[in-house]
Each structure stands twice: as C-alpha cells, then as structure tokens.
Structure 1
C-alpha cells in the first residue's frame, strides 16, 4: 500500500505539480516517441527555468564518428581561468529529456561550485541503443581532456556526474576509463539516484512504485528495454551493479529515500566501498526520484545541492600544476 505521506511535504507538492503537467497531455504510451519527448520537454520546462544566470553558455559540437555530440558548457562568473569541470549526463531512462530539461540543475552545480559544467546531450534510445550513449560519453570526456584547455578547463580536474540513467552512464564511463588504462582521468563521480540494475526486483521497487513517488517499477523496466533492445540480462558495462568496482575515483551518492531505485543505490554504495572506493553516501529522507529538479521550491533539494557542491570542491580543489 502506497503511503505518500512519507514524502517531504515540499517534494509531495512538487510531484503533484509535475503530475498535473503530465495530465494536460496524452499519456506517453499512447503517442509516438517524438511526441512523447516533446511532451516531456514541455512538462519539465518550468522546473528547468529560473535560478542563477551564467556568465557564459556555449554549445559545442564534439566530433564523434561521422557526426557530433552536442555539449553545453555552463561557465559561472566565479569560474577560474583554468578550473575544474563537471561533465553531466541527464536522466530520463536513456529515452527522454535533454540538456534543456536539466539546464537549471547544471547551472546550480556550476554556481555553487564555481566550476564549469558540461552537459552531454547523448543520443537517446530506442533509436540509439546501448552502448551508443556510453561511447559518446567517452568521446566527450576525451575531448575535455585533449581540448578543454581552450575553453578554460583544467584537464587534470575532470569530474563526471549524472542522475538516474545519467548516473549509470557516469559510473560506467569511469569503469571504461579504468579498463582502458586511464583510471586517473576522472577525479570524482557525482551519482544522483542512479539506475544500476535492470532486474528491478528489490524491496524499494515495490514499496515506492508508481506516480505518487514519481517513478514506477514497470516504467523503469520499459526504459531498460529501450536501452538494451529487449529483456535479456544487461552486461556489466550496461548494468554496473554487475561490474568490477575497484580502482575507481571517489564517489558521492545522492540517494532518495522514497525512490524505487533506493535499494540498488544503497547496494551500489556498499559494493563500491567493499572494492576500496572512497564513498560518501547521503540518503535524503522524504525525497523522491528526481527531487533535485524541485530546487525552486524545496529546502531538501537545496541542501542536497549544497552537500554535493562542498564535496566536489573538496575533491577537485587542487589547482592546475604549473
């Protein structure tokens, strides 16, 4: 039995507002993928607006294969001439959302850290299935290392982060860099309520299932099918809960208490720690999936941003070597 009273009151109101936005449109299941994405952009637009204004915003086309990956670089007024960067991957089940829906979120991190934030507009599923988005992420990280100095980035201070499916991509990208012999390239991981296990069978998947808590178990399973192309078990590179987790950079895990993904996030924190990774886990009582998007109205989201910003500044505070 669902008991939404366990949600923080401001988060409950945020979810109600989002659900009211969805209710003004046809259900996503009844429309094609292009219309579903357009609806998702409209519903999330109010939550991506407002907040601090950046000193500079640049859209960069990073070459990848025969095409390019769009990267939006947010530069706050307090950014150093050669400073750290947080490469950020938006959530949306590898299927929905964009750097536009997560614009406010990225600007919050930029303002609170003083770092540049590079939003990666990776290709979406089901048209571009695993490992396309992960390969594009690797390309962008390599570009930041090789060309970032031209846009004010210290290539020795790269962090990678994301929320939900984006946290999956961030962690898997760090595992890929380690396995490629570049384990020192990524200095820190910011992992917000990540999707790490395609089985979706833990207690929290049942306890916090459905619209009152923002994300449903069946919805998450559908996202995994879009990403993988079917119901076969995900390989470790897609579902990092199955991967070897040693020799990874320090990680901050933002975990929402009232989230279907809570238990796999707690499990991931334990596995990272057992593998020797330095982990800071923060469980936010009364928080739902996507609660960071409520920053315009939620003290809990505000605290979570501040917690992560302080941690990132500590993790990437070393100045550029001269």
Structure 2
C-alpha cells in the first residue's frame, strides 16, 4: 500500500479511481504505522484508513451480527420478510488485514443491487492463524448456512460465495475443499481481483511499485505470512491456479486492469474455461486493486457492481 501521493505521468488509472488511491495513500501518510509496529497497530491503522469508504450507501431492512463458534458473522438483508438467496462474502486484506467492518458498504451494495442477503465472515487472520485456519472457517460457514437457513429465512438452495483479493482466493479454495469432502457447492463464485498464485507475472512489473495500490513486495509478504512452510505455496488450496477446477460452480471474475494480479486473474479465468466452468471475466479499464470500494465516488465501480448484480440475479433465477 503506497504511502505517497501519485505524481505519475501517463497514468492509466481512471481519474475517480486515482482520487480513491491518492486518498488512501494520503491517509496512510497521516496515520500510517511506524516501521516495526505490531500487527495490532497495523490492523488498527488499516481499519482507520478504510473507515470513510465503508460509510453511506444502501440502508438494509435488517443487519445483524451472529456468532459462529467464536467467528463473527454479519448478515445484511435488503428486505425483511422474503426467503432470500444468500452470498457468503469473504473480505480481502492479504489474509492479514481488514474485516467485515472495512467491507461493510461493499456487502450492502451487493445486497441492495442484487436483491440477496449477504453474510460477511470475520475469519481468523495471519500470521497468528495460518493456512488452513481461515479456509476451514469459510468452509464451515457454508455448512452453517445450510444448517441455519430456515431459521434465518434464507434459501439454502441458492447460496453463492464471493470475495476480493485474498477473499477471492478463499472463495475458490472453500469450493475446492467442499468438493473434496463431497459437500454441496455454492451456486456461483464472485471473484474480485483474486490472489490465485504467488508467482510474479509481468503485471507485477507494470503496476507493483505502489502507484496503483497493491505493491509487489507487499503481496509477496502476504503470501509468506499466510503459510507455515514456503512449500505450501504450491498447494492447490493455497494457490487455486494449481488446482483441478473441474466441477466448480459458475464464476464471475472482476479483473482490475491496473493491478499486479491482472495477469494471474486472466490465467485463472482461462483455466476455469478450459475446465468447463461457465466463466464471465471482465477487465475493468482504469481500475486498480480494491477499486470496488471506491463506489461512493467512482462511476466505474458502480457500473461493475451493477454488472455483477445482474449476473447474480440471473444465477439465482435459474
């Protein structure tokens, strides 16, 4: 996460997305944790920096927090009484940062635009809780939805999974784990600028210096923090690009053009298609990593959310 303002020439970022990135960078410059700060301090700073971007947006008919065996969940419902489809949404942050609080507006946007319930999960973060702790919690949340759907007036036959960055990784990995265990799979996967493999690609060189949000060295550190042993980085449940993707549910990939993960997302979309998975992959020109969080100021983010919401509505109507 770059800590300085952009003074770039030939800037490829959409102007409104550039405002978002520069505002995030300015906030880190003002509130950033000093070198060597504790993980608790780093997380507190990240929450503070992201706080303005979770405010406003759709008002829900019902929002409630639920405890799932010590894991905090938050359920948003755009209408109170209907038996709604539900999407388990898994926030990003390199498996290390952020929460259902930082991503609260994004979850409410999906609920309102797609007409579904959205359940966010505050999974355990690394480095304190390394692979596969967060993955097991996300898979458990899918089972929990199936068990509690009637109580919560949710439609257990129309469950989706989605997330951004590390959350997109966990979404796919949870599907792989459920498939491996013979458990029911979600109806679809919504994957926003996901981290699907640790290898550096040419997009790291183009966008990894920090001018476009996520930095190359930062992403390397996230991967290293997630696992106990570097050898685990080849595990398909850690790096889904290495997995057999057959029989996974339909996927929508939102790919940010100006993102170090763009090439990896292109490769993952191609592999899904080769595996016979119905796949819609959209590259959003001028978008950076995390661009959907800029919905309050960036029409590009709103258009992307509308496209995704229409896709979700088609999925749950099928």
Category of TM-score, reference length = shorter chain: over 0.9
Aligned with 1:146: secondary structure?
A: helix
Once the two structures are TM-superposed, the CA of residue 69 in structure 1 deviates from its matched residue by 1.2
User: C-alpha displacement at 1:177, in angstroms?
Assistant: 1.2
Counterparts of 1:41-60 in structure 2 under 5 Å? Answer: 41-60=47-66
The CA deviation at 1:25 is 2.0
| 1:178 counterpart residue number | 179
2:160 paired residue number = 159
Please report the RMSD computed on the Cα atoms of aligned residues, expressed in angstroms. Answer: 1.3
The normalised TM-score by structure 1 is 0.94
- Render the CA deviation track for 1:136-195: whole Å, top value 9, x for unaligned: 00111101011122111100000000000000000111111111123x431000000000
Which sections of structure 1, spanning at least 5 residues, go unmatched? none
Q: What is the alpha-carbon distance in structure 2 between the residues aligned to residue 106 and residue 308 of structure 1? A: 13
Distance apart, 1:82 and its partner CA: 1.2
Distance 2:87 2:10 in 1: 34
8 A Cα contact 1:4 1:213, kept in partner: no
Q: Could you tell me which residue of structure 2 aligns to residue 130 of structure 1?
A: 131
TM-score, structure 2 normalization: 0.95
Q: How does 1:1-322 map to 2 (within 5 A)?
A: 5-27=11-33, 29-63=35-69, 68-77=70-79, 81-182=82-183, 184-199=184-199, 201-234=200-233, 235-318=235-318
| 8 Å contact kept, 2:85–2:116 | yes
CA displacement 1:34-69 (0-9 Å, x = unmatched): 000000000000001111111111101112xxxx21
Q: Deviations over 1:243-300 (max 9, x none)?
A: 1100010000000000000000000000000000000011000000000010000010
Cα deviation 1:215-255 (Å, max 9, x = unaligned):
01110000011101353351111110101100010000000
- Paired residues in the alignment total 310
Contact 2:33 2:41 in 1 (8 A): no
Gapped regions of structure 2 (runs ≥ 5) = 1-7
Deviations 1:68-114 (A, max 9, x none): 2111000113x662120010000000000000000000000000011
Residues 260/115 of structure 1: CA separation in 2 closer, same or farther (3 Å cut): same
Distance 2:34 2:110 in 1: 30
